[in-house]
Chain A
Amino acid sequence: MARVIGAVVVDKEECKGCSVCVEACPHDVLALHFEVNSKGYHYSYMKSPEACVGCANCGVVCPDTCITVYRTKAS
C-alpha cells in the first residue's frame, strides 16, 4: 500500500516564530530553528521531515501564512 508523504516549505523571513504550527503538527515534524531570521525570530522548520504526511494543519493555523504544504504518495 502506498504511503502518504508530505513536505512543508516555510518562508523563513516571513515566519515570526510563534510556534503555533509546532503545536498543531500531529506528527512532531516541525520545530523552531536555533538560528534566527533577519528580524530575529527563531523560524519554524521541518525537524523530522520523514514524519510529515502533508495534513496542512501547520499551514491552516499559521497567522502569517508563511507555510506552503505538499503531499503525494510515496513511490
Chain B
Amino acid sequence: MELKEVTKTEGTMDIQDILKPENLVYQKTKLLTDTPMHYCPGCSHGVVHKILAELIDEMGIQERSIGVAPVGCAVFAYNYIDIDWQEAAHGRAPAVATGISRVNPDAFVFTYQGDGDLASIGAAEIMHACNRGENILVVFINNGIYGMTGGQMAPTTLEGMVTATTPYGRNTDLNGYPMRITNLIAQLPGTSYVTRQAVHTAGGVRKCKRALKKAIQNVLDKKGTSFVEVVSTCNSGWKMSPVASNKWMEENMIPYYPLGDMKDSVKGEHSEN
C-alpha cells in the first residue's frame, strides 16, 4: 500500500511507529475482492456491500452464502463479494432466492435489490416471497431513482423530485405517490424483522451493520423473511456532490422514509405498527 502521503509530524510519535499490525483497528475485509467497484464516487452501494462482506466473514458463513444480484447498478455485486452468486432478471430476485433456499434449506440466501427492481417491476415477487416467509434476507437500497438506466422516476421518487422522466418534478396526479413499500412488507406475517436504515454517517453505518447482523442471524435461525431497507443516495442521478446528496437525503428522504425498526418478531405474527 502507498504510504507516501503520510508524513512525519513534529512533536508526536513517528508515523511508522503507529502503522504497525498490532495497532490496526480498521481494514478492508478479505471477503471483498480486489476488483475496484464500478459505482460512482460516494455511492451507498459500496458501503452496504462492505458491511455485508464484513458480516459474512465475521459470522463465518462464506460457504453457506448465496447472493442474488438484481438488475440495476448493483448488477455487478457478484464481482465484489467473494461468495457464490446468481444474477436475476429485473425484479425476480425474491423468486430466484426462493428457489435456491427451498432446495437448499441450510444456505444463507439473500437478495440485494434497488427500488425500481423491488418496488416496481418486482412488486409481486417481493410481496409473495415475504408473505410465504421465505427464509431469506432482502437488502433493499432505496435512493428514489433508477440509477443505472440514467436517473428515471422510481416508485419511491419523492413528490416534486426531478428525474429524467419527471423533468418538472414528480406530479402525483400523473405518477401517483412515493411508495413506502417497507411499511407494506412489515404488515406481512411471513416477515420476522423489518427495518429501515441509512449509511450516510459513521453512526448510521454501525447501526445498519447491527441491523443486518440481526437479519442474517434470523435467516440462520430460520425465523422467516428479514427485510432491511437502506435509504441511500444517488449523487449522479440526483445531480449533486456526494456530500450534498447525503445532506439532501437527510433533509428530504428521511422525513418521508423515517429510520428505525418496523417489525421485530417471529414469522406468523402481525406487525404491531
Contact = CB atoms under 8 A, between A and B. Distances in A.
User: Do A and B touch, yes or no (CB under 8 Å, in the complex)?
Assistant: yes
A63 B13 contact: no
Contacts of B149: none
Interface string B115-143: 00000000000000000000000000000
A41 B29 CA distance: 24
Contacts of A57: 202
Interface string B223-252: 000000000000000000111001000000
Contact of B1 (A22, A54, A64, A68): A68
Contact of B41 (A17, A50, A70): A17
B272 interface: no
A19 B13 CA distance: 27
A10 B27 CA distance: 11
Does more than half of chain A's interface fall in helix, strand or loop, or is it mixed? mixed
B1 A69 contact: no
B206 A60 contact: yes
B28 A18 contact: no
Contact of A24 (B1, B3, B43, B202): B202
A9 B201 contact: no
Nearest to A16: B41
A11 B2 contact: yes
A11 B1 contact: yes
B174 interface: no
B205 A60 contact: yes
Contact of A20 (B9, B23, B42, B206): B42
Contact of B36 (A9, A62, A64): A64
Given A9-B3, A69-B27, A74-B13, A64 B46 contact: yes
B37 A6 contact: no
Contacts of B47: 61-63
Contact of B18 (A7, A19, A33): A7
Interface of B: 1-3, 5-7, 9, 11-13, 15, 17-20, 22-29, 32, 36-37, 39-47, 50, 199-202, 205-206, 241-243, 246
Contacts of A63: 37, 39, 41-47, 50
Contacts of A54: 23, 25
A33 B19 contact: no
Contacts of A60: 26, 202, 205-206
B19 A64 contact: no
Contact of A9 (B6, B45, B202): B6
A41 B42 CA distance: 12
B246 A20 contact: yes
A10 B13 contact: no
Contacts of A61: 47, 199-202, 205
A56 B22 CA distance: 15
A49 to B, nearest CB: 5
Given A18-B242, A20-B42, A70-B18, A5 B12 contact: yes
B32 A20 contact: no
A6 B19 CA distance: 9
B18 A23 contact: no
B261 to A, nearest CB: 21
Most buried by B among A24, A55, A68, A70: A70
Given A46-B6, A70-B23, A70-B24, A75 B202 contact: no
